[in-house]
Amino acid sequence: MLNNFKKFVTVPLLTFFGRRRAKKIFRDPPVLIGGCGRSGTSLLLSILAAHPQVLAIPTETGVFSNWETDPAAAGASPAWRPQRMDRIYRHILS
């Protein structure tokens, strides 16, 4: 029951209001850049953050670090999916 509520109420509402707020803040869709450790991401952050029209988030958002097993997957190898993908939207838009 709770999964149906999330699927049909919570997720569509977050998507609707997230897109609506994003349209007010961003003229163009946001570009997300990520990378592995020691691959030059800090240098890229410094270069991009120097531009006045670029928003650079200097901390890890942790959006992809929390994984859970997909309960809909049945079989020997469970499917994996990110647990709360809306966290990055809230982090960027707040």
> What's residue 69's pLDDT?
56
Three-state DSSP string of 24-76: HHCCCCCCCCCCCCCCCHHHHHHHHHCCCCCCCCCCCCCCCCCEEECCCCCCC
Instruction: Write out pLDDT tens, residues 5-32.
Output: 777 777 777 777 777 766 666 677 778 7
Instruction: Write out pLDDT tens, residues 36-79.
Output: 878 898 899 999 989 988 888 877 766 666 555 555 554 544 45
